[in-house]
Structures are given as structure tokens and as C-alpha cells.
Amino acid sequence: MPRPITRRSLLGAGALLPLALRRPAFAETASGPWRVGAFTVVPLTDGLFPLEPSMIPGAESPAGRSLLEGAGLGPSGPSPEPVNAFLIRRGERHWLLDAGCGTVFGPGFDRVSAALAGQGVRPDQVETVWLSHLHADHVGGLLTLERQARFPNAELVLQEREVAFWSDANARANASAALGPMFDTASAVLGAYAGRVRRIAGEAELTGGVHALPLPGHTPGHMGVLVADGAERLLIWGDVIHSRLLQMPHPDWTVIWDADPAQAITTRRRLLDRAASESVRVAGMHMAVRGRIARDGAGYVLT
């Protein structure tokens, strides 16, 4: 059984960062910007999360230990994984896709605001924040230390099913130890942006050239975003993959934060197959690079 993840253990993740950073060959952060037609997509790395094999239970196996050792890591990890948000720009318009951890996970994170400033973007210039889902490492950065809205003019856009799930008292009462602390942050975010939350259902146009793609399983309303302009396309798939090292070769390995593990596997396999067939470029919140998907035996690789 995986060790339960509590708020204390999440906050303690920052203490493991020096260990992760001693592995510079693997502990890379996302680079950019990337052009997608007239769009510019800039990955904003909020920090590195030291993912332990217990968080992907399938990795607590000879196969998992072999993959970790092959990447120059210890057989019990951790595997340093980026936590990304994305700035999407077109002309003078600025959108965010997710917002990182903020201060929710303690030291070592909350770098999105500085990264935005480095791009010449003030918080009040962000008009919309599209949310892949309401887990704390994606929405904590929407809040200030005082738990107020960090982006004063931004509207939040997310799937209706996502809002319903994280607003459900019964879901909170029945949440696992791994998910319980996430409800507090989700509630704080929805409260701070009350009156500025737009709910969508299924596939939807977010703005011209940007579409929401439902990817349920990790959470009920988990979604990705497809940015397209002419022949150029980039699929940012949220948390379909938490560890490229471990889950690409083993797409049936789930994470302890999956609300519906079986559905998460189905969604991941379907999307990986689609990405491979269509040769679309992909990026993710926990991937240091973008690329195209190719099938590799029973699994996949990012090329």
C-alpha cells in the first residue's frame, strides 16, 4: 500500500529538493518559448516536485527501480518532476493555463509570478486562466499569501464537472488521505474568484484557436488544451502523465491522486494513441520537454 500523502508530507516536499537538484542530468525544467502559428506558448516552471515511487505504486517494482536507476537516480527515487504553468500569448492578449503551486507546498515553489514578470506580464494583464483541474499544484498560484486573488482581472475557466466535484461536501467527506488537503485549496480558489468562474461542458472553444479537450480520470473534470493555428498544433495535456520516465513505458501505472484510476488509464492510452497517430506535439504540467509521441512495444516514448 502507498504511504498516505498528507498536508505535512506535501509541505515537506521542499526539503527533498536539494536531493533532486543533485541530479542535474534529469532534474531539468521546461524551456521555451514555443511558437504555434501566431501564438507564443511559454512554459513557466513553478518548481520541482520530488516524486517518490510510492506515489506511482506500479513503480514500486523491479521495473520501476530499473527505470529510476537507468536515469541516474536511486532505485527508490525520488524522481524530480517539474510543476509547470503556461503563458499563452497572441498579440497583446495574455492567457494562463494553470498557475502552479504558489505557496501551498512550502519552499521551493511559487516561481510563476516571477516568470511572468520576466516575460513583461503583470498579474492585472492576464485576462483568463484556463484550469486543467483544481489540484493544488495547478491552482495554488492563483492565491496570494493572504489567500486573495493574485490575478485581479482574470476569469477562471474550467469544466463544470470539476467545479461540482470540488464543491461537493460528500466528495470531501469521502476523500482519500491523498486528496483531502486538495479540497481546502480548491475551495479557497473558488471563493477568491467568486463571480469570475466560468464553467464549460465537454469540448469547447476557449478563444479563437484554443480548444478545451476533456480528459477525465485524474479528476472528474480534468481537461487538456489544444492550441492550433493553421497547420501548427500543440496539445497541453495537463496531468495525463506525471512522470515521463515511469508512465510512458508503463501507461497503466496510475498516481495516488487519480480520482478514478481505471478511467485515468483509459484516457491516457486513448490520448497517447491519438497523439502518436496524428503526430501532434504534446506538452504537460509535469514534463520538462515537449515532443511527439511514438509507440514503443507496450508503451510509448516522447521523441
pLDDT 10s digits, 148-167: 999 999 999 999 999 999 99
Compute the chain's Rg from CA coordinates. 18
Question: Which range has the worst mean pLDDT, 4-8, 133-137, 185-189, 210-214?
Answer: 4-8
Is 256's pLDDT higher than 50? Answer: yes
- Partnered with residue 51 across adjacent β-strands are 79
Distance between CA atoms of 85 and 223, rounded to whole angstroms? 14
* pLDDT at 14 (0 to 100): 40
Exposed/middle/buried for 249, CB within 10 Å: 0-12, 13-18, 19+? middle
Interatomic CA distance for residues 32 and 189, integer angstroms: 28
Of 196, 209, 192, 198, nearest in space to 162 by CA? 198
**Which residues lie below 8 Å from residue 77, measured CB to CB, with a gap of 6+?**
50, 51, 52, 53, 59, 68
Q: How far is CA 283 from CA 23, 59, 70, 239, 297, in A?
A: 22, 22, 23, 10, 22
Distances (CA, A) of 267 to 2, 42, 66, 153, 216: 23, 26, 26, 33, 7
pLDDT of residue 107: 84
DSSP symbols for 216-262: TTSSTT-EEEEEEETTEEEEE-TTS-S-HHHHTT-TT---TT-SSHH
Q: What is d(CA 128, CA 142) in angstroms, rounded to the nearest whole number?
A: 12
Q: How many whole angstroms separate alpha carbon 49 and alpha carbon 47?
A: 7
Q: Give the cell for residue 297.
A: 512495444
Backbone angles phi, psi at 219, to 5 degrees: -140, 165
**Mean pLDDT along residues 254-272:** 96
Q: In what order do the strands lie in the sheet with 34-36?
A: 34-36, 39-51, 79-90, 93-97, 128-130, 155-159, 197-200
Eight-state DSSP code of residue 108: T
**DSSP-assigned letter for residue 123:** G
List, for residues 43-72, the tens digit of each pLDDT value. 999 999 999 999 999 999 999 999 999 999
Residue 157 and residue 97: Cα distance in Å, rounded?
A: 10
What's this model's pTM, rounded to 2 decimal places? Answer: 0.90
Say how many CA atoms lie within 13 Å of 28 toward its Cβ: 14
pLDDT digits (tens, 9 = 90+) for 163-178: 999 999 999 998 888 7
Residue 29 pLDDT: 55
Q: Which of 64, 65, 55, 105 shows the shortest CA–CA distance to 83?
A: 105
